[in-house]
């Protein structure tokens, strides 16, 4: 009974937060509601027995996306005086006739999905049992990591490439004459508490990242969650002024960026020499290869996410 | 001996529930303060203090439910980290609000 | 009604709200927000599906959603970079070909 109350509150909260996110007059408020929606979604996923995904969503979905949205909002405010004074104001929408029509359309979509959900047939193939029966061959004992890095490793390889591609896209779109502004003014850099917090958190975050990477083979965790924790640390360094944007990327930074996709692709191709197909790990080496791939992916994800938030080609230490 | 054990486990459950509910009450108080106080600084004050204490009571209540020292220490670590993060965030928000107030009054006068 | 069904219906409702605001609002940042909420709703749907048989959890949707979260953040970052460039070049945050004065 208390399960139902809790789940009911979570579901109602999700709908209310989604409504508030999309209906607020003020864009800033919408972004904050969106971050809160992400955190409530994390709770829902823990309730649905998906702790790996919940970890990733809390860090990447709510955290990094929130930072990106707030950065964009600030750029829209201060970059250039908007020609149309209503640029940053919220709710300009289509005419009322269109709005009613679109509302009807959305209601039909929701109705259709709900009808399909209520009449779902029984699952044809039971993938869960299938995965668990072959788990011993995969080299890890966490089912989600096994699916992510062994059984469906091809998807993960392409996903890491997409992340790099998005970063290249952001670099391409950035105007050439732009001088990259620092994230914080002197105002925030001079605050003594931020330095103290960073000193306390730095070793802890690196340790937690390494722990999540290692434990991903046995328990909820893995490369994406570890990369997200390290990215959060990097974003904190950037936002507090400890890392300055630079207009070019150093060679070592570029090496770190391609380390993940590179290691993954090399291993994917190299195992073909042992008589397997692409990404078919030989059974004795599977856990070691998966750990190597995960380490590379963690480093690349962390560096890529920090560069995505800062938007600049490179970052260097601020020496004062 | 058996009855003593069951008495202890019942006591554990009750203490845990009381502490968790008390933590929830503090969260409620903090949220009421957020909604009803007039000023940014008073709202920050209510929110940070009440929420941190609420989280501390929540973690303490959960510690009573586990038998493992590792999990208890991890819960304590969660509380300490949340304490640090909320203290620094509160400080930065208040500092910026004060700065904005000062610069806007300078502009007006 | 099982837990899985309840959460998938909630996801359907959230998707409906998000697709409505995606189509109705013209401000590009709102559209990007609505796209992200749509993505979150679909992820919730997938995770709820993974729990249909409430004894064992199907891990394949979990892996799909993990991939989806990373791809969503990549796409959002690129879309926001495009929006900032558009705003910088033209001062607008909408994709209209028509002037705003004649829109209302």
- CA quadruple A91, A97, A98, A103: dihedral sign: positive
Cα–Cα distance measured from residue A271 to residue A265, given in angstroms and rounded to the nearest whole number:
10
As a whole number of angstroms, the distance between CA A236 and CA A305 comes to 12
The CATH number that domain A1-114 falls under is 1.20.120.1200
pLDDT of res. A158 = 94
Model pTM? Answer: 0.90
Q: Which residues between 17 and 56 in chain C have a beta carbon less than 8 angstroms from any beta carbon of chain A?
A: 17-21, 23-27, 29-30, 32-34, 36-37, 40-41, 43-44, 47-48, 50-53, 56
Question: What does the pLDDT read at residue C14?
Answer: 94
Cβ-Cβ contacts under 8 Å, C90 against chain A = 83
DSSP character string of B23-86: HHHHHHHHHHHHHH-SSHHHHHHHHHHHHHHHHHHHHHHHHTT---HHHHHHHHHHHHHHHHHH
**What residue spans in chain A does CATH classification 1.20.120.1200 cover?**
1-114
* Residue B88 to residue A204, Cβ atoms within 8 A: no
Q: What stretch of H or E contains C70?
A: helix C59-90
- What does chain A come to in residues? 320
pLDDT at C103: 39
Contacts of A230 (CB under 8 A, 6+ apart): A205, A206, A209, A298, A299, A301, A302
pLDDT in tens, C37-47: 999 999 999 99
C-alpha A97/C-alpha B87 separation (Å) is: 49
Separation of alpha carbons A2 and A19, rounded Å: 26
Distance from CA of residue C29 to its chain's centroid? 12
Q: Do B92 and A204 touch (CB under 8 A)?
A: no
Q: How far apart are CA C39 and CA C70, in angstroms?
A: 11
The model's pLDDT over C51-86, given as tens digits with 9 standing for 90+, comes to 887 677 888 999 999 999 999 999 999 999 999 888
Q: Using an 8 Å Cβ cutoff, are C44 and C11 in contact? A: yes
Domain enclosing residue C82, as ranges: 3-90
**What pLDDT score does C97 carry?**
54
Positions of chain A with pLDDT lower than 70, given as ranges: 78-95, 177-190, 320
Using one digit for the tens of pLDDT, what is the confidence trace for B42-94? Answer: 999 999 999 999 999 999 999 988 888 999 999 999 999 999 999 999 998 89
Q: What is the pLDDT of residue A320?
A: 62
pLDDT (0 to 100) of residue A183: 57
> Which chain B residues are Cβ-neighbours of A63 within 8 angstroms?
none
- How large a percentage of chain C has pLDDT more than 70? 90
Task: Please indicate whether, in this complex, the C-beta atoms of C36 and A65 are within 8 angstroms of each other.
Answer: yes
How many distinct structural domains can be found in chain C? 1
Q: Is the pLDDT of residue C9 over 50?
A: yes
In this prediction, residue A86 carries a pLDDT of: 46
Residue in A48, A88, A110 closest to C16 by CB? A110
Provide ipTM, 2 decimals: 0.91
pLDDT at C96 (0 to 100): 67
- Domain segments of chain B: what residues? 2-108
């Amino acid at each position: 009974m208390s399960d139902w109350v809790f789940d009911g509150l979570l579901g109602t909260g999700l709908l209310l937060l989604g409504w508030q996110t999309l209906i607020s007059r003020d864009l800033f408020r919408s972004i904050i509601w969106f971050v809160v929606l992400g955190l409530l979604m994390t709770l829902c996923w823990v309730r649905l027995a998906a702790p790996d995904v919940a970890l990733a969503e809390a860090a990447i979905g709510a955290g990094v996306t929130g930072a990106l949205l707030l950065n964009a909002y600030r750029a829209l405010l201060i970059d250039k005086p908007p020609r149309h004074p209503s640029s940053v104001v919220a709710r300009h929408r289509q005419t009322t006739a269109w709005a009613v029509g679109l509302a009807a359309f959305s209601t039909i979509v929701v109705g259709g999905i709900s009808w399909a959900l209520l009449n779902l047939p029984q699952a044809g193939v039971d993938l869960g049992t299938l995965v668990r029966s072959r788990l011993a061959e995969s080299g890890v004992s966490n089912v989600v990591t096994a699916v992510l890095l062994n059984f469906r490793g091809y998807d993960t390889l392409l996903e890491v490439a997409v992340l790099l591609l998005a970063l290249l896209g952001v670099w391409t779109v950035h105007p050439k004459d732009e001088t990259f502004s620092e994230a914080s003014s002197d105002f925030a850099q001079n605050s003594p508490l931020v330095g103290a917090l960073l000193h306390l958190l730095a070793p802890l975050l690196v340790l937690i990242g390494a722990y999540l990477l290692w434990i991903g083979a046995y328990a909820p965790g893995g490369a994406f969650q570890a990369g997200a924790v390290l990215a959060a640390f990097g974003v904190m360094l950037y936002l507090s002024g400890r890392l300055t944007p630079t207009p070019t990327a150093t060679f070592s930074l570029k090496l770190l960026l391609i380390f993940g996709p590179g290691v993954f692709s090399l291993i994917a191709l190299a195992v073909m020499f042992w008589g397997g197909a692409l990404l078919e790990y030989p059974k004795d080496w599977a856990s070691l290869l998966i750990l190597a791939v995960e380490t590379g992916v963690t480093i690349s994800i962390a560096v890529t996410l920090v560069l995505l938030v800062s938007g600049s080609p490179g970052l260097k230490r601020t020496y004062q | 001996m058996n009855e003593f054990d069951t008495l202890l486990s019942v006591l554990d459950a009750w203490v845990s529930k009381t502490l968790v509910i008390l933590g929830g009450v503090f969260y409620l108080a903090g949220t009421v303060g957020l909604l009803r106080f007039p000023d940014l600084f008073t709202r920050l004050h209510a929110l940070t203090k009440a929420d941190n204490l609420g989280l501390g009571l929540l973690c303490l209540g959960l510690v009573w439910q586990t038998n493992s020292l590792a999990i208890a220490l991890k819960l304590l670590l969660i509380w300490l980290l949340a304490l640090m993060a909320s203290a620094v965030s509160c400080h930065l928000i208040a500092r910026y609000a004060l700065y904005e107030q000062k610069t806007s009054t300078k502009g007006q006068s | 009604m099982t837990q899985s069904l309840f959460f998938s219906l909630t996801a359907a409702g959230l998707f409906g709200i998000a697709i409505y605001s995606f189509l109705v609002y013209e401000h590009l940042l709102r559209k990007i927000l609505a796209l992200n909420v749509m993505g979150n709703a679909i992820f919730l749907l997938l995770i709820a599906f993974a729990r249909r048989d409430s004894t064992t959890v199907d891990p394949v949707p979990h892996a799909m959603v993990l991939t989806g979260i990373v791809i969503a953040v990549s796409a959002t970052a690129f879309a926001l970079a495009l929006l900032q460039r558009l705003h910088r070049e033209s001062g607008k945050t909408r994709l209209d070909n028509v002037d705003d004065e004649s829109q209302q």
